[in-house]
A and B are shown apart, each in its own frame.
Chain A
């Protein structure tokens, strides 16, 4: 096995509040191999975005990494001084956020934004940066890029803007792209195009992708491996076909069966009762135990860590050997 590109080890993200410390990401570990697409799924509030922000070093205070390590190509990046981390952002780790309508500064042309980003990371003069920017726009499928480069963001549709955002994330050929729900804010008709584009540019640039989404369809089509998060913890991780077709964790099973399949009757589905606990009320033992149809005594007191379960790893006592 090749050395991992990104390693997250026992990551813990906390928010100190007046009523005690909220643990939003708890003992989370996973790896991403070079060129791999890791899908990260989970309900809203599971801690997916915070994990992504922790990796790119942009957690907003008071949120902070309380413990754990993040390694990029074997080198710790979670404790770097701000300026060193800034040089990694955009250059070695690119990021794409949910809403393309608000990701671009409305007062600068897309050319200005591209050229600035290119010049921060690469030794290019203005002219070189401009022609590189036009190439990038062509790569992400903006028609007539030489003419559109001087347009402002509001001249572009949502889908086109997300293409520009992808071009911006690609400026310096990052080895890793953190994409946080890159299609959620887009028209359904455009989502597939953007995902295809993301896949294509990642492949062409040899970049790995951490693809955060709650769309299992996107995961099934795009990801090599999938991590399922629940209440800030890793529930299950494994190759995409195993997680989708042979889920081991009861939560993943519930998640998969709640995806409607073609021609299926919705009412008869095995839904998971209840909701994900709030950060202030995570039960002891397995965080999923209030909703778990298979829980037993041990689940109520002892917290499971991910353990081998078929081709996957699942944080569930059912697989304790």
Chain B
């Protein structure tokens, strides 16, 4: 168990160092920071001075080590556009993105799993056909289009829900939440659906195919032969086996949701990290871009790690206890 965890952690660190390298090379290869800070008509002396000041005269690996060292402390320097610490900007934006992402993920799971189970158990019912057709649309329409359509219907035509922003938020310490105000919750609905729809259809289809697979297995046949009720066969035996692979995929999708939030945040002007990133790309605000890259990678890596451990906890076959296996 410990070896397993250590191995996974080592892999995670390696991935982060690699991503860090890519982020770091943004500074070096995309644009010239000295030029950026001093402008076109700086004197050569000024240039040398600033180059020294920024540590840019040192060898590449020293610069990289310094970058990693600062990044570990959350220090990505100043935003070139806003001239404020990048870490401050992200701390402000993080709650918006995470609340949106978790709401989307929750929606995807809460709707996707029951729909998948239903379409597997009632394969030929008309409702299952409806779910499958709708899911096909969900997979094939691009996110921004779904967002725009939702805005058109629910904000413009019906006027039920706001079309942009986060509504009123309440600060709890440094965290700002929109979950405690009516306007915050209303503002969350459309973006969460937009962001979660694709994942929901994915999870539904995954659950459906896994469940159909599991229902064909011998142990399900044998469970029926033992006289267990349909309820137990379907929701205890089959569902548990279905959810093992689904956990992995769904967990990994959470990383994707956070990353894909960029598009949804742009469509809905949702004040999260994705919007911050898009805004910084248009002005080549490299520190912000680098920090975003590292942060997203960190989410992916941490989620991966947690999913692995969860998987390990759920599937007893992975827990090799040698005493018992000896028989």
Is residue B32 within 8 Å, beta carbon to beta carbon, of the partner chain? Answer: no
Quick one: which of B219, B222, B314 has the most chain A CB within 10 A?
B222
From B96-104, B191-199, B226-234, the one touching the partner chain is B226-234
B201 to nearest A CB, angstroms? Answer: 26
From A6-14, A66-74, A81-89, A253-261, the one touching the partner chain is A81-89
Is residue A102 within 8 Å, beta carbon to beta carbon, of the partner chain? Answer: yes
A154-B315 Cα distance, complex, nearest whole Å: 11
Residues of A within 8 A of B224 (CB): 58, 86, 89
Is residue A160 within 8 Å, beta carbon to beta carbon, of the partner chain? Answer: yes
Partner of B317, one of A58, A88, A102, A106: A106
Is residue B316 within 8 Å, beta carbon to beta carbon, of the partner chain? Answer: yes
From A18-26, A114-122, A213-221, A230-238, the one touching the partner chain is A114-122
Quick one: which of B218, B225, B317 has the most chain A CB within 10 A?
B225
Task: Give the contacts of A102-154 with B (CB-CB under 8 A).
Answer: 102-109, 116-117, 120-121, 151-152, 154
Q: Is the CB of A105 within 8 A of B327?
A: no
Is residue A41 within 8 Å, beta carbon to beta carbon, of the partner chain? Answer: no
Is residue B171 within 8 Å, beta carbon to beta carbon, of the partner chain? Answer: no
Q: Is the CB of A102 within 8 A of B229?
A: no
Q: Is the CB of A90 within 8 A of B218?
A: no
Partner of B229, one of A86, A109, A154: A86
A94-B222 Cα distance, complex, nearest whole Å: 10
Is residue A99 within 8 Å, beta carbon to beta carbon, of the partner chain? Answer: yes
Q: Is the CB of B228 within 8 A of A120?
A: yes
Partner of A106, one of B222, B223, B236, B241: B241
A120-B224 Cα distance, complex, nearest whole Å: 12
Residues of B within 8 A of A165 (CB): 222
Is residue A205 within 8 Å, beta carbon to beta carbon, of the partner chain? Answer: no
Q: Is the CB of A56 within 8 A of B315?
A: no
Is residue A271 within 8 Å, beta carbon to beta carbon, of the partner chain? Answer: no
Partner of A103, one of B219, B230, B244: B219
Task: Give the contacts of B287-321 with A (CB-CB under 8 A).
Answer: 314-317
Contact flag A95-B232 (CB < 8 Å), given A87-B227, A107-B316, A160-B327: no
Quick one: which of A104, A120, A154 has the most chain B CB within 10 A?
A154
Residues of A within 8 A of B244 (CB): 107
Quick one: which of B219, B220, B223, B224 has the most chain A CB within 10 A?
B219
Residues of A within 8 A of B229 (CB): 86, 120
Residues of A within 8 A of B241 (CB): 105-107
Is residue B186 within 8 Å, beta carbon to beta carbon, of the partner chain? Answer: no
Q: Is the CB of B226 within 8 A of A102?
A: no
A316-B221 Cα distance, complex, nearest whole Å: 36
Partner of A117, one of B218, B227, B236, B324: B227
- Which residue of chain B has its CB nearest to the CB of A121? B227
Task: Give the contacts of B222-271 with A (CB-CB under 8 A).
Answer: 222-230, 232, 236-237, 240-241, 244
- Which residue of chain A has its CB nearest to the CB of B316? A152
Is residue B43 within 8 Å, beta carbon to beta carbon, of the partner chain? Answer: no
Is residue B325 within 8 Å, beta carbon to beta carbon, of the partner chain? Answer: yes
Q: Is the CB of A168 within 8 A of B226?
A: yes
Residues of A within 8 A of B82 (CB): none
A114-B221 Cα distance, complex, nearest whole Å: 16
Is residue B125 within 8 Å, beta carbon to beta carbon, of the partner chain? Answer: no
Q: Is the CB of B219 within 8 A of A105?
A: yes
Residues of A within 8 A of B237 (CB): 105, 108
Quick one: which of B227, B314, B324, B327 has the most chain A CB within 10 A?
B227
Is residue A280 within 8 Å, beta carbon to beta carbon, of the partner chain? Answer: no
Is residue B217 within 8 Å, beta carbon to beta carbon, of the partner chain? Answer: yes
Q: Is the CB of A106 within 8 A of B316?
A: yes
Partner of B226, one of A107, A108, A120, A152: A120
B322 to nearest A CB, angstroms? Answer: 11
A112-B245 Cα distance, complex, nearest whole Å: 22
A99-B254 Cα distance, complex, nearest whole Å: 38
Q: Is the CB of B225 within 8 A of A107?
A: no
A76 to nearest B CB, angstroms? Answer: 18
List 5 tightest A-B contacts by C-beta distance, closest first: A90-B227, A95-B225, A102-B218, A89-B227, A90-B226
